[in-house]
Amino acid sequence: MAKGSRALGADLVVPALAAAFALYFFVSTTDLVWEAKANGVVIGTALLVLVALQVARVAWQWRRGEGGMGFAPLVEPREYLGRRLGLVALTAAFIALMPWLGLTLSLWLGMVAALLILGVRRRGVLIWLPLITAACIYTLFIAVLDTEFPHGPIEAALAALLP
């Protein structure tokens, strides 16, 4: 890759994940009512169109010699690689623990951990930002919309306290 050219391969990672998500969306909505299937098809198709546009853009740039298929931006600068891997591990832990901790507690703990990984040390930010976010998400998705997010000890306690 010539000096000053871009690592275009890194620009294909998110589209690849998006395409996998769209395919999962198509498969997971097959047994649902027709409205859900229709929404799944519309959203999944729109996502695949955007993925195709990104792939075409990268292919065009690669063909014009504007870059190679490297992935350097995903691992550089090296001093932030530990934080990036920590956030990936944290995301996996958030998903794995949510069925037991519930949406509200897992979101609060996940945000506190993410802020710590990112280097935030101000106590007010570490307490209030996750608390306000978790409270808003609880209010919207659990209390108002009554979605099927996992309920944990926070949701159980608030259900017992609130009418």
State the distance between the two ends of the chain, measured CA to CA, in whole angstroms.
64
Which range among 28-32, 57-61, 103-107, 159-163 shows the weakest confidence by mean pLDDT?
28-32
**What is the band of 4 on the pLDDT scale with cuts at 50, 70, 90?**
low
Do 58 and 118 share a domain, yes or no?
no
Do 35 and 83 share a domain, yes or no?
no
Percent of the chain with pLDDT over 70: 98
Do 82 and 155 share a domain, yes or no?
yes
* Cis peptide, bond prior to residue 77, ω within 30 of zero: yes
What is the C-alpha separation between 14 and 101, in angstroms, rounded? 28
Alpha helices in 3-152 (DSSP H): 13-28, 34-63, 81-117, 123-137
How many Cα atoms sit within 13 Å of 158 on the Cβ side?
A: 14
Do 93 and 60 share a domain, yes or no?
no
**What is the band of 115 on the pLDDT scale with cuts at 50, 70, 90?**
very high
**Domain termination site, one of 74, 90, 112:** 74
What is the C-alpha separation between 18 and 93, in angstroms, rounded? 21
**What is the band of 64 on the pLDDT scale with cuts at 50, 70, 90?**
very high
| Overall number of domains in the chain | 2
Name the nearest CA neighbour of 130 among 153, 150, 103.
Answer: 103
Q: Does a structural domain hold residue 113?
A: yes
Q: Give residue 39's domain range.
A: 6-74
Do 92 and 120 share a domain, yes or no?
yes
Structure tokens at 128: 């209030």
What is the C-alpha separation between 46 and 23, in angstroms, rounded? 12
Do 70 and 83 share a domain, yes or no?
no
pLDDT value of position 54: 96
